[in-house]
Chain A
């Protein structure tokens, strides 16, 4: 589960890191991506993983459009307007999905891969699917790390995050840049959404809970750190698995307890980057 939570949280970290925007609709966007994948799979009959080729660009384009057409209008000194708008977005997405896909629980099928596992020892095995998800999370974070620390675009992201006004003096169009950041974030959301759909059942109402997991992973890992987000996702996932082993009813509780424990011991998260 850790890799999946890390993927949930990466988009959130990215958006917060670049534009100090807390996106309440993040969980619902993940579910939207899952349904988009479902629609693509049902329409074309291709493998859910292949549907990423379509879902990722569509979500990225949606992200750019949302940012330019909606969130950019709300960004300013006050952090409340974007928060409220994203809350509204969350409700709109939930109801649109309900209207189009009904409240039925759905799932993306990948056949035998769902239950395949690799035996490591007599009583220890890891599922192939979770492994794929985890490797994918690492690849995504590695990729983002390269973009952020090795490219002009990444420098522009970091500079804008530091000091938006001075960044404009460098010739950076911050509105366009925010659009790109949201596009990348929703590209990651698309991957997270498809994996969510493959791992578990989903319906239009589960977005907010995904948001909570994403938030917890971000906070556990430390705000603004991508690797921290991965660590946060793993901590959360492992805690939930251990909880579920003890008693199936304790799964969610164990995750939340781990989150609270980290907050108590290290209020800034495990790997904090932002000190402002």
Chain B
């Protein structure tokens, strides 16, 4: 049985429909990439999973239970954590307070402050600085650390390389194997195809709110991906 499964998931912003029936699965411990152009519905997909965009109950199931449309704070408690696009650290909280707040749902598990600092040593030096005083890359580390503090079984990462220098992106992606080693399933949403394909076991390509291509990176030709990505 898969950890996360969506069936015919639709998503709306008011009258605007952003998702037109997405079928996707993520297995326990698996890393899945979702790629697609701007506005393809990638972020909406993640937000529908965590309860920030309305979804019908049966459209999303986690661990065999329907969770679609549950309030966001219930979904975290079940073990899905989102690293939101744009990082969204709390400006009035220090780095350490941001991390501690990540553990608000008090799920038991391997992640603790020490472990997050071990994963991202740069954070420890700046632990008492306000979250927004960090560099972009450190903020992204803090946002990932904050999500890990919830001890999720499924970690959703929305555009974690957006606006960061390539060298910083490499540092952040270097933390991924350690996260995977703890058995956390990871969904990575990226516009940068190469980055996504290099770490994922499977990939979904979104186009205008639909899945235009899916499969294992090795078996997908560049041509097929380009077509699915751009629709040309």
Residues of A within 8 A of B (CB): 152, 155-156, 158-159, 161-163, 165-174
Q: Give 9 A-B contacts (CB < 8 Å), ordered by A residue.
A: A158-B90, A158-B93, A161-B92, A163-B88, A165-B52, A169-B82, A170-B101, A171-B76, A171-B77
Which residue of the partner chain, among A152, A167, A169, contacts B100 with CB atoms under 8 Å? A152
Residues of B within 8 A of A (CB): 50-52, 71-73, 76-77, 81-82, 84, 88, 90-93, 97, 100-102, 104-106, 146, 150
Q: Are A162 and B91 in contact (CB under 8 A)?
A: yes
Q: Are A170 and B104 in contact (CB under 8 A)?
A: yes
> In whole angstroms, how far apart are the Cα atoms of A173 and B75 in the complex?
11
Which residue of the partner chain, among A158, A159, A173, contacts B73 with CB atoms under 8 Å? A173
Q: Are B90 and A152 in contact (CB under 8 A)?
A: no
> In whole angstroms, how far apart are the Cα atoms of A152 and B100 in the complex?
8
Query: Provided the pairs A155-B97, A165-B52 are in contact, do residues A170 and B92 lie with their beta carbons within 8 angstroms?
Result: no
Closest Cβ of chain A to B52, distance in Å, is: 7
Which residue of the partner chain, among A161, A163, A168, A170, contacts B71 with CB atoms under 8 Å? A168
**Chain A residue at smallest Cβ distance from B92:** A158
Query: Provided the pairs A171-B76, A171-B150 are in contact, do residues A166 and B104 lie with their beta carbons within 8 angstroms?
Result: no
Which residue of the partner chain, among A159, A165, A173, A174, contacts B101 with CB atoms under 8 Å? A159
> In whole angstroms, how far apart are the Cα atoms of A171 and B104 in the complex?
6
Q: Are B71 and A152 in contact (CB under 8 A)?
A: no
Q: Are A155 and B84 in contact (CB under 8 A)?
A: no
Closest Cβ of chain A to B93, distance in Å, is: 6
Instruction: Name the A residues within 8 Å of B81 (CB-CB).
Output: 169
Q: Are B72 and A169 in contact (CB under 8 A)?
A: yes
> In whole angstroms, how far apart are the Cα atoms of A174 and B150 in the complex?
17
Query: Provided the pairs A170-B146, A171-B104 are in contact, do residues A163 and B90 lie with their beta carbons within 8 angstroms?
Result: yes
Number of A-B contacts (CB under 8 A): 66
Which of A165, A166, A169, A170 neighbours the largest number of chain B CB atoms within 10 Å of its CB?
A: A169
**Chain B residue at smallest Cβ distance from A177:** B73
Instruction: Name the A residues within 8 Å of B91 (CB-CB).
Output: 162
Q: Are B84 and A159 in contact (CB under 8 A)?
A: no
Q: Are B76 and A170 in contact (CB under 8 A)?
A: yes
Instruction: Name the B residues within 8 Å of A166 (CB-CB).
Output: 84, 88, 90
**Chain B residue at smallest Cβ distance from A176:** B73
Q: Are B90 and A169 in contact (CB under 8 A)?
A: no
Q: Are A171 and B73 in contact (CB under 8 A)?
A: yes
Instruction: Name the A residues within 8 Å of B146 (CB-CB).
Output: 170
Q: Are A170 and B93 in contact (CB under 8 A)?
A: no
> In whole angstroms, how far apart are the Cα atoms of A138 and B81 in the complex?
40
Q: Are A162 and B93 in contact (CB under 8 A)?
A: yes
Query: Provided the pairs A155-B93, A163-B88 are in contact, do residues A171 and B100 lie with their beta carbons within 8 angstroms?
Result: no
> In whole angstroms, how far apart are the Cα atoms of A163 and B71 in the complex?
16
Closest Cβ of chain A to B81, distance in Å, is: 7
Instruction: Name the A residues within 8 Å of B92 (CB-CB).
Output: 158-159, 161-162
**Chain A residue at smallest Cβ distance from B149:** A170
Instruction: Name the B residues within 8 Å of A167 (CB-CB).
Output: 90, 101
**Chain A residue at smallest Cβ distance from B86:** A166
> In whole angstroms, how far apart are the Cα atoms of A165 and B104 in the complex?
15
Instruction: Name the B residues within 8 Å of A152 (CB-CB).
Output: 100-101, 104
Instruction: Name the A residues within 8 Å of B76 (CB-CB).
Output: 169-171
Closest Cβ of chain B to A251, distance in Å, is: 37
> In whole angstroms, how far apart are the Cα atoms of A162 and B97 in the complex?
13
Q: Are A169 and B50 in contact (CB under 8 A)?
A: yes
**Chain B residue at smallest Cβ distance from A168:** B72
Closest Cβ of chain A to B3, distance in Å, is: 19
Instruction: Name the B residues within 8 Å of A159 (CB-CB).
Output: 90, 92-93, 101
